[in-house]
Chain A
Amino acid sequence: DQQVKQNSPSLSVQEGRISILNCDYTNSMFDYFLWYKKYPAEGPTFLISISSIKDKNEDGRFTVFLNKSAKHLSLHIVPSQPGDSAVYFCAALSRYGGATNKLIFGTGTLLAVQP
């Protein structure tokens, strides 16, 4: 049972345009969400996060939006750069309710930014 889903395995955008990566989750106990970026042969690196008490968090070119009612979050990258080309993983965890602090990942979306 996939609790965190990234339905688009890949996305291609032009340099300078907006990249929108989507993520859906099923577990209403999740209250903290993160995006990680992964280059080939490297471990994932943290990009941006959002708490469930917010609906938007912005850090430079990266913005994460959270729609709790729809159990949906998205990562916007504006403007996209060729160096952003990587696999992006959405992740979620439940920090309360007795559950362990276990990070659940989606399957990833491969972003290719074309020069």
Chain B
Amino acid sequence: GAGVSQSPSNKVTEKGKDVELRCDPISGHTALYWYRQSLGQGLEFLIYFQGNSAPDKSGLPSDRFSAERTGGSVSTLTIQRTQQEDSAVYLCASTKYTGGNSGNTIYFGEGSWLTVV
């Protein structure tokens, strides 16, 4: 597709279960981000992948959260032992990173809405 694709679009899970959220970035985009937006909150940075560099994991809220990016394309965000406070929309974004002197923009998917009950 032409845009960033995320799946599932909606997920309801029981507290304590693990969930996986998938992101397909725009073809050719080397940089990929995960953000989340909780109810009434702004966009919270979670993790950033750029090419073969080590990911910036500084936004992951706990060790229950992890993410991978295989082959420099698709990314999976995994939340283990989900808690109710993990309920949020998880947004993936990608960009064609061209180095520091870039005027690029970042394109978001429509998000995966996670509800932990």
A-B interaction: yes
Question: Are the CB atoms of B56 and A100 closer together than 8 Å?
Answer: yes
Question: Are the CB atoms of A46 and B91 closer together than 8 Å?
Answer: no
- Give chain A interface residues in 47-83, CB to chain B under 8 Å: 49, 51
B38 to chain A, nearest CB (A): 11
Q: A101-B31, A103-B106, A105-B42 are in contact. Are A43 and B100 (CB under 8 A)?
A: no
- Interface flag for B102 (CB, 8 Å): yes
Residues on the A chain within 8 Å of B91, using CB = 43-44
Question: Are the CB atoms of B43 and A89 closer together than 8 Å?
Answer: yes
Q: Is the interface of A mostly helix, strand, loop or mixed?
A: loop
Question: Are the CB atoms of B45 and A102 closer together than 8 Å?
Answer: yes
Q: A43-B4, A49-B105 are in contact. Are A103 and B110 (CB under 8 A)?
A: no
CA distance A91 to B106 in the complex (A): 11
A66 to chain B, nearest CB (A): 14
Q: A100-B50, A101-B50 are in contact. Are A42 and B110 (CB under 8 A)?
A: yes
B: interface residue count bin:
20 to 34
- Interface flag for A21 (CB, 8 Å): no
Question: Are the CB atoms of A102 and B111 closer together than 8 Å?
Answer: no
A59 to chain B, nearest CB (A): 12
Question: Are the CB atoms of A43 and B110 closer together than 8 Å?
Answer: yes
CA distance A106 to B42 in the complex (A): 6
CA distance A39 to B35 in the complex (A): 16
- B residues sitting closer than 8 Å to A (CB atoms) are 4, 31, 33, 35, 41-45, 48, 50, 56, 58, 91, 93, 95, 97, 100-103, 105-111
- A residues sitting closer than 8 Å to B (CB atoms) are 6, 32, 34, 36, 41-46, 49, 51, 89, 91, 95-96, 100-108
Other than A45-B108, A107-B42, give 4 A-B pairs with Cβ distance below 8 A: A42-B111, A101-B31, A103-B106, A105-B44
